[in-house]
Amino acid sequence: MKLLFITDNFPPEVNAPATRTFEHCREWVKKGMDVTVITCAPNFPQGKVYAGYKNKLIQRESIEGIKVIRVWSYITANEGFFKRTFDYFSFAISATLVGLFIKTDKIVATSPQFFAAAAGRWLSFFKRKPWIMEVRDLWPESIKNVVGAFNDSIILKFFEYWEKRLYLKAEKIVVVTDSFKEYIIQKGIAAEKIYVIKNGANAELYTPRQKNTELLNKLNLQNKFVISYIGTHGMAHKLDFILHCASKMNNTVFHFLLIGAGAEKNMLLQLKEELKLINVTMIDPVPKNEVADYLSLSDISLIPLKKAEIFLTVIPSKIFETSAMQIPILLGVEGESKAIIEKYGAGLCFEPENEEDFFQKLNRLYEDKEAYKMHKNGCAELAKAFDRKRLANEMFDILMDAK
């Protein structure tokens, strides 16, 4: 079977959508599927094309058996609503035009972002092929909750109308959380066409290991209790809250390691200087094959989000990769994510943006050594339940069943 997959993010980008798509497609190729991915020149999140690539009309490559076609798009950094919207829309147009010339039996299009899903719908219409919509983000709902843009505006109402049309026209819908499924059902979409395939971890890449001594020395983290955050530095992640917490900590053993880039990175660097933080290290993103080495430095994996209703429905993918390495989690997210952490005992949860609760839970993880060991065991159980290979096979069956 030939499959065409539309995604805005793909390796060498290292964010969650890129990783999920790549690891799923790789497993499907192993099962005999002929997979073509249409994506753009790698540039996330800085908005700069990676070395070795160009932002041109078409460029082709093969990655572990996956046929990859990169198309032109307007590229901008992950900041500024209008620029990003034009970035997304230009990719959708290019992906649609190029996709018209690709032979395929079925089409998958994934969000974020919203317009990539639209490209899947357009190609389904023109090619008369079944289309599966993968929903990784409730867009435009997230705009209202995180950015606060266009609340009750005509533009937002148009996007909400478009969103529902996409749900209606998709042959099947694959979502990453149970909450997403409930949200879409409330939009009037039949429950039987919606499938939940949550994120997971690559058990071959993320494994328990000793702290990387070379990196410990390089970053001057010897004898530190390291609380790490590896990922996008965006508005949703409230890393300014973490920096303000760090400024109030007298215990010199605690050290925060923040790795990544995003719309808030420059502001955060400036805030770090203003607060004169010596217990925070901030570095740029690292290649995907080095992430596990940097994660190994962690005593605690920090996963915070802004206090907003929309985040009751999300499950950050960091939960699964961290758990696979048996690093206890300090989660600042409520809702479905919190339920998973508590079910497996993989760490502790604090109320988002609540300093007192944050300090209390962090100190408990540091001081209670027996509980810390139990959380490591809980991580192992969580990772076993969310193995990426098994989840990819479940989605494979859904794709094969689409008609």
d(CA 15, CA 19): 6
Helix or strand run (H / E) with residue 110: strand 106-111
pLDDT at 289: 86
d(CA 354, CA 151): 26
pLDDT at 322: 96
Residue among 206, 136, 179 nearest 383 (CA)? 206
pLDDT at 80: 65
pLDDT at 210: 95
pLDDT at 152: 62
d(CA 341, CA 115): 32
Residue 282's region, left for phi above 0, alpha for psi from -120 to 50, else beta, is beta
* Tens of pLDDT, residue by residue, the chain (403 residues): 999 999 999 999 988 899 999 999 999 999 999 999 999 999 988 889 999 999 999 999 999 999 999 999 999 876 666 777 888 899 999 999 999 999 999 999 998 778 999 999 999 999 999 999 999 988 766 666 555 555 667 777 788 888 899 999 999 999 999 999 999 999 999 999 999 999 999 988 899 999 999 999 999 999 999 999 999 999 889 999 999 999 999 778 999 999 999 889 999 999 999 999 999 999 999 988 899 999 999 999 999 999 988 889 899 999 999 999 999 999 999 999 999 999 999 999 999 999 999 999 999 999 999 999 999 999 999 999 999 999 999 999 999 998 8
pLDDT at 148: 54
pLDDT at 242: 98
Tell me the per-residue pLDDT of 131-168, one tens digit each, with 9 for 90 and over.
999 999 887 666 665 555 556 677 777 888 888 999 99
Cβ count near 238 (within 10 Å) = 19
pLDDT at 44: 86
d(CA 236, CA 148): 11
Q: Is residue 12 within 8 Å of residue 288, measured between CB atoms?
A: yes
Using CA atoms, how far residue 48 sits from 41, 55, 57, 71, 290, in Å, is 9, 10, 16, 15, 20
d(CA 366, CA 63): 42
pLDDT at 84: 79
Tell me the per-residue pLDDT of 164-200, one tens digit each, with 9 for 90 and over.
999 999 999 999 999 999 999 999 999 999 999 999 9
d(CA 3, CA 34): 6
pLDDT at 130: 96
- Cross-strand bridge partners of residue 108: 5, 132
Q: Is residue 218 within 8 Å of residue 294, measured between CB atoms?
A: no
